[in-house]
Amino acid sequence: MSGFDCRTCGQHHTEMPMCLGADAPALWYALPEGERAERAFLSSDECVIDDEHFFVRGRVVLPVEGGADSFVWLVWVSLSAANFQRMGELWETEGRESEPPYFGWLQSALPYDESTLSLKTAVHTMPLGERPEIEIQSEGHQLALEQVHGISMARAQEIVERALHG
């Protein structure tokens, strides 16, 4: 699907984004802007706040029914200090995907009716060059159900509209 007519703004969007997400974990946005540089480190893959909150960026993949592509949420997950350190040690190591999954808490506010903050997750390390894959383990949450059962292209468009227009 190359584009779509948006039901929210009434405009035609020339592209249907199949990957969306936040540039930082929710806690980053809660910090006063003037304190971020002194209290936090943020890269495209990691975030550390106050040397006590540790986050990695990963992918929640939602299969799209009948589609060649999946819809991907780029999300932030909090890890324990030990797991964050271990993941960092293996970041550039071949075979790192054989590492058991890490427990984490989802720390990205996604546009779902029920909050996505602090959903239980398993963080699966992927081969070099790939972001971790995040498995939602909060049974019954719409995001978890969509991850397991997939979504229609109409649902993907609804997600995109909500993400683009609040």
Would you say the C-alpha torsion 99, 105, 109, 113 has a positive or negative sign?
positive
**Contact 17/160 with Cβ under 8 angstroms?**
yes
Q: Which of 137, 125, 60, 45 is nearest to 87 (CA)?
A: 125
Torsion angle in degrees (nearest 10) through CA of 22, 101, 149, 159:
0
The pTM of the full predicted model, rounded to 2 decimals, is 0.91
The residues with which 48 forms a beta bridge, in sequence order, are 41, 54
pLDDT tens digits in sequence order for the chain, 166 residues long: 567 777 777 787 778 888 999 999 999 999 999 999 999 999 999 999 999 999 999 999 999 998 778 999 999 999 999 999 999 999 999 999 999 999 999 999 999 999 999 999 999 999 999 999 999 998 899 999 999 999 998 899 889 888 887 6
